[in-house]
């Protein structure tokens, strides 16, 4: 898709009607030339969300969200532009592969898809019945086998290797894909995954990009229990979450996300009807994970194993999630139990109860500390000091000043000490304090007040002319002949109109479509704006009237400027300069009359 250019983007946009698309998400009602509905991006009782079938744009006057079909899908589905492009291309039956370069990434994806199907087939091969029995013993249902595409790698050195070579796949690409590895003596290659249950790892576009393998060997001390694909051009384990494609619908429906440690934990949660659950891929939680989660939810539950390693993993994840301003809860299960074990023993209701009773992360810290010998008496100064020492490393990692202030305030309430004392301790340890921590104590609410944007706005006449270029598309060139791009004072308008001068209606009847997605999003608020000060219909006479008004205002400023210079020359007795300025004023007035007659003639056509 990296090779998908502007032509294919225009083709997709041209084939999709924005009203039909948005109507599949929210109800819309006709309102004049546009459609209106309740905004899906913020809560409201009176519709302020507008959709223009003519311009193929949407804009909400409440939350200021706007754009084209791509922006809407990106916002609603929480996906990237590339993913939105893929989704909408499928909707209109366009194969993006035909429009992009056949690069190595595409080939690696196809190899992984081929391998996934091979592993799935091997799981149901009678020769590998022990693997299927193992999964049944683990209570994995046949529906889950299909949904998560679970497979099996036979206990042979070259099963997948031989299969892929017969399909004409070069060894070099199999090695790059991480599916085979070189023998130590350099005599050849062997399958990386052998005698393992295979869990395909999918990216956020539901493409298989890697595999996780769980050994079924009885003597598993000689081999690692779990083995993942190495990182490659298509697989970066620090940015993916296992089970996300299967959890996506549940995440959007429930509004929260639970993070567990293992593949089978995710699968068992799904079997018990708990959908918004994903797992990390045997790696520490990363900032990429946090940023991705922030696009979907505000509430995150960490359900790591109750052993010491699981608790440490939970504590490491908290910092990243807090940096993204997410509400983090810790879910504690029975000692020695993972989510899979807990569900099988106690069932869904008990598991959901644990989730909804998740501990606030600071309470979790506090509770964990209280169980230590040094935390036995938390009212003592020494215990408070020790707890604060334990918290300092967490506070030092906070880059977001708002989050830091909130944490300090919470800790001060727990320990019943002043926030300033915590800031002093943090500063002495080499951590950064916020510039406004003292003001936070006096008025914490003031830090969260929304700031109004103070950017310059275009003149109402210029806005009307800009809108008219799209409303009166067939007359674009006639308008620009009189009022070229350089005449626009508003920078964005000048940039966009400079592109419109090359528009040809034979390419597309809607000039908006020749603009980039970013440009379309930038102009959406202006094209949907109705308060231009003009109540009449858009027409060429009205456009020329606006041009005349703008030019009259501009000329008036010039005349005032020269009158000041004229007065100055007279006072200084500079007759030669006075004569030049007087002549300039007369020329400007003649030009004004000539231009006025020209525009009046066009208005009367």
Fold (CATH) for 244-365: Dna Topoisomerase Vi A Subunit; Chain: A, domain 2 (3.40.1360)
Phi, psi (deg, nearest 5) at residue 447: -75, -15
Where does the pLDDT of residue 157 fall: very low under 50, low under 70, confident under 90, or very high at 90 and above? very high
Top-level CATH class of 6-99? alpha beta
Report the distance separating Cα 123 and Cα 197, nearest Å: 8
Report the distance separating Cα 317 and Cα 260, nearest Å: 11
Fold (CATH) for 104-235: DNA primase DNAg catalytic core, N-terminal domain (3.90.980)
Q: Which helix (H) or strand (E) holds 249?
A: helix 244-254
pLDDT at 449 over 70: no
Q: Which helix (H) or strand (E) holds 352?
A: helix 348-356
User: Mean of the pLDDT values across residues 387-391?
Assistant: 81
Structure token pair of residue 395: 């506070």
- Mean predicted lDDT score pLDDT of the chain: 81
- Of the listed ranges 209-223, 481-495, 507-521, the least confidently predicted one is 507-521
pLDDT at 469 over 50: yes
Structure token pair of residue 157: 């050195």
Query: 0.85 exceeded by the pTM?
Result: no
Give the count of beta carbons closer than 10 Å to the beta carbon of residue 592.
18
Question: Taking the CA atoms of the chain, what radius of gyration do you get in angstroms?
Answer: 33
pLDDT at 506 over 70: no
pLDDT above 70 covers what percent of the chain? 84
Phi, psi (deg, nearest 5) at residue 242: -70, 135
Q: What is the pLDDT of residue 453?
A: 43
Q: Indicate the domain borders of the chain.
A: 6-99, 104-235, 244-365, 372-443, 460-603
CA distances from 210 to 178, 205, 207, 234, 494 (A): 8, 13, 9, 8, 48
Q: What is the pLDDT of residue 597?
A: 60
pLDDT at 102 over 60: no
Q: What is the pLDDT of residue 153?
A: 95
Phi, psi (deg, nearest 5) at residue 604: -85, -5
Report the distance separating Cα 501 and Cα 522, nearest Å: 18
Report the distance separating Cα 555 and Cα 553, nearest Å: 5
Q: What is the pLDDT of residue 381?
A: 81
- Of the listed ranges 16-30, 157-171, 575-589, the least confidently predicted one is 575-589
Report the distance separating Cα 206 and Cα 203, nearest Å: 5
pLDDT at 350 over 80: yes
Q: What is the pLDDT of residue 58?
A: 92
Report the distance separating Cα 150 and Cα 198, nearest Å: 6
User: Mean of the pLDDT values across residues 440-446?
Assistant: 33
Give 393 or 179, the one with higher predicted confidence.
Answer: 179
Q: What is the pLDDT of residue 118?
A: 97
Where does the pLDDT of residue 438 fall: very low under 50, low under 70, confident under 90, or very high at 90 and above? very low
């Amino acid at each position: 898709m990296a090779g998908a250019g502007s032509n294919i983007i225009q083709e997709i946009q041209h084939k999709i009607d924005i009203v039909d698309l948005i109507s599949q998400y929210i109800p819309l009602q006709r309102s004049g030339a546009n459609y209106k509905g309740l905004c899906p991006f913020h809560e409201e009782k009176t519709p302020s969300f507008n959709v223009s079938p003519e311009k193929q744009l949407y804009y909400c006057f409440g939350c200021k969200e706007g754009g084209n079909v791509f922006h809407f899908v990106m916002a609603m589905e929480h996906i990237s532009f590339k993913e939105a492009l893929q989704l909408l291309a499928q909707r209109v039956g366009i194969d993006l592969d035909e429009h992009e370069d056949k690069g190595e990434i595409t080939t690696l994806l196809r190899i992984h898809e081929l391998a996934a199907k091979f592993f799935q087939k091997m799981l149901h091969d009678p020769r590998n019945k022990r693997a299927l029995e193992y999964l049944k013993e683990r209570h994995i249902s046949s529906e889950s086998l299909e949904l998560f595409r679970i497979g099996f790698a036979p206990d042979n050195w070259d099963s997948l290797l031989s299969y892929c070579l017969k399909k004409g796949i070069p060894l070099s690409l199999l090695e790059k894909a991480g599916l085979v590895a070189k023998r130590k003596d350099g005599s050849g290659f062997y399958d990386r995954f052998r005698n393992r249950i295979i869990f395909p790892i999918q990216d956020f576009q539901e493409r298989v990009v890697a595999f996780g393998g769980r050994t079924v060997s009885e003597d598993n001390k000689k081999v690692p229990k779990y083995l993942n694909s190495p990182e490659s051009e298509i697989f970066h384990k620090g940015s993916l979450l296992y089970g996300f494609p299967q959890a996506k619908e549940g995440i959007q429906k429930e509004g929260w996300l639970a993070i567990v440690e293992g593949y089978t934990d995710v699968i068992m949660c799904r079997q018990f009807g708990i959908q918004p659950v994903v797992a990390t891929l045997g790696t520490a939680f990363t900032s990429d994970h946090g940023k991705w989660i922030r696009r979907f939810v505000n509430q995150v539950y960490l359900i790591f194993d109750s052993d010491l390693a699981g608790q440490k993993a939970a504590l490491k994840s908290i910092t990243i999630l807090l940096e993204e301003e997410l509400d983090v809860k810790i879910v504690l299960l029975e000692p020695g139990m993972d989510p899979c074990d807990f569900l099988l023993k106690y069932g869904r209701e008990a598991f959901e109860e644990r989730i909804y009773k998740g501990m606030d992360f600071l309470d979790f810290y506090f509770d964990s500390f209280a169980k230590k010998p040094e935390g036995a008496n938390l009212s003592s100064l020494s215990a408070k000091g020790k707890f604060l020492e334990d918290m300092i490393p967490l506070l030092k990692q906070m880059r977001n000043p708002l989050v830091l202030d909130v944490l300090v305030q919470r800790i001060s309430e727990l320990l019943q000490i002043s926030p300033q004392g915590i800031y002093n301790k943090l500063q002495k340890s080499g951590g950064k304090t916020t510039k406004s921590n003292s003001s936070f104590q006096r008025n914490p609410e003031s830090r969260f007040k929304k700031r109004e944007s103070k950017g310059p706005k275009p003149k109402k006449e210029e806005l009307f002319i800009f809108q008219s270029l799209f409303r009166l598309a067939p007359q674009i060139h006639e308008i620009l002949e009189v009022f070229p791009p350089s005449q626009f004072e508003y920078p964005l308008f000048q940039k966009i109109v400079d592109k419109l001068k090359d528009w040809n209606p034979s390419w597309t009847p809607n000039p908006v479509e020749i603009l980039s997605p970013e440009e379309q999003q930038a102009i959406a608020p202006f094209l949907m704006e109705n308060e231009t000060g003009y109540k009449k219909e858009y027409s060429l006479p009205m456009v020329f009237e606006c041009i005349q008004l703008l030019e009259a205002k501009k000329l008036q400023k010039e005349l005032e400027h020269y009158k000041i210079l004229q007065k100055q020359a007279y006072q200084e007795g500079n007759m030669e300069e006075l004569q030049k300025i007087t002549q300039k004023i007369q020329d400007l007035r003649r030009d004004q009359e000539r231009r006025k007659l020209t525009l009046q003639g066009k208005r009367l056509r």
